[in-house]
Amino acid sequence: MPARERGSLDWGTYGDSFGHRLRVIRQIRGLSQQEVAQLCGMHHNQVSNLERNRSNRDPFIADPQLSTVYRLARALEVPPAYLLPDLDHLVRRRSPEQATVRELSRVEDALRRLLAEQTT
């Protein structure tokens, strides 16, 4: 896919950002991976793999179906868009295995603000 003006569509970094958003929202909600999995009707390993952007199939990066994103959002009581990375705020990698802490912190802060606005 061609790069867009406002961001990159590299699935690896997009998947990392999705996984980080999922983990942050889950933790803010005070839920374990097991609890989210039960609410979604999936195995806790699937939640873990999504958070870590891992898959058992080649190319070994997570690729959740739209129905999975929707079920996760319902379990976490957020709009599905909260889980989807914004191209302006993608997590950039220093190496294939590690995202920068500063960018992850920015994403986490933005998610916390969105969730706080939702509850007020």
Q: What is the pTM of this model?
A: 0.68
The pLDDT of residue 1: 35
The pLDDT of residue 109: 79
The pLDDT of residue 46: 95
Cβ partners under 8 Å of residue 14, min gap 6 = 8, 85, 90
Topology, domain 11-115: 434 Repressor (Amino-terminal Domain) (1.10.260)
The pLDDT of residue 120: 67
Neighbours of 83 (CB within 10 A): 22
Report CA-CA distances (Å) from 30 to 36, 49, 62, 82, 84.
10, 19, 23, 17, 20
Break the chain into its structural domains and give their ranges.
11-115
The pLDDT of residue 9: 56
pLDDT, block means (10 residues), the chain with 120 residues: 45 83 93 97 95 85 91 94 72 49 70 78
